[in-house]
Amino acid sequence: MKPINDIPISQIIPGKNDRTIFDESGLRELADSIKEHGLIQPITVRYAEDCKQFEIIAGERRFRACKLLGWQTIPAIITVLKDKEASAITLAENIARKSLDPIDEACAYQSRIESFGWSIEDLSKYAGTSTIHIQFRLKLLKLIPEIQKLIRGGNIQIGYAQILADTNLDSNFQLIAFSRLRDNPKPTTGWFRSIVSELKEKQDQGILFKGPLFDETYDANQFKTKNIPQPPHPDTTMPPKVGRNYKEIMLNQINFWEEAASKWDAIGKPFKRNECRSAAQALTKALSKGFTKR
């Protein structure tokens, strides 16, 4: 067992931690626990490049919590490690403790691929997790920064984030997919998978959408929702009675609501789209019954 030394906190510096966000309330809770029960597990450090300080390898949250308590020294295990060895220990601790948000975890894997040339199999061995899990996390880095931020904050569940990352949508289509997820109060993974697949088809066909972040999107060929009136809706619009007879009028009204549904769909409003489709279906049923009676 390696000896434990009490090291002055003033001589300790953070290492290359994978964590980019330290939750203040979480640190305070940890500090309260350490105050009550003591520091059960010492931190791990190595000599810094100047050999006058110590660099943290594992335990930065514990180090920060002890600083909050005003400790002057902290129990630590001093190791002699090369960068690659130190990085492996840091990764193993962070993944084992499940203390990283999904984006920090993905960046942790990516940084080791770039710095040390590690393979997915290497990462799996050092992190103690599956290669599939690592591949899924790395795909999150394909998402635009704004959506990554929402993932960090827990505003997008990881299951939906993985579906979106797995589809290779460009930035505009990612925003459209997010807006549809946001507007659905009871989404399911199956529903969202169909949405992103539909958007991927439109992207592959060269259909372009563009618009401001998390705002109303544009139908590139027709209108911008903020400056031009909204599409027709059954609550606010009566379909025109155009046609030479009952059948033509009904068919034109059915087409009217189907076109309205497509416009609502283009701007990411699934409920209004569905209500327009329901209006079209009701007219179709009424038309069918009308001719059956005749």
Catalytic positions, written as ranges: 60
The Cα–Cα gap between 137 and 91 comes to 14
Q: Is 215 helix (H, G, I), strand (E, B) or coil?
A: coil
Q: What is the CA radius of gyration of the chain?
A: 28
**DSSP reduced 3-state for 281:** helix
- Distance from C-alpha of 25 to C-alpha of 292, rounded to nearest angstrom: 68
Which 3 state secondary structure label does DSSP give 7?
A: strand
Burial 119-154 (b: 16+ CB within 10 A, else e): eeeebbebbebeeeebebbbbbebbeeebbebbeee
Residue 45 contacts residue 12 (beta carbons within 8 Å): yes
Q: How far apart are CA 27 and CA 10, in angstroms?
A: 19
Kindly give, in sequence order, each residue whose CB lies less than 8 Å from that of residue 133, ignoring residues fewer than 6 positions away.
Answer: none
Strand-pair partners of 104: none
Distance (Å, whole) CA 172 – CA 178: 10
Contact 146, 172 (CB under 8 A): no
Those residues with Cβ within 8 angstroms of residue 274's Cβ, 6 or more apart along the chain or in another chain: 261
Question: How far is the C-alpha of 24 from the C-alpha of 176, rounded, in Å?
Answer: 33
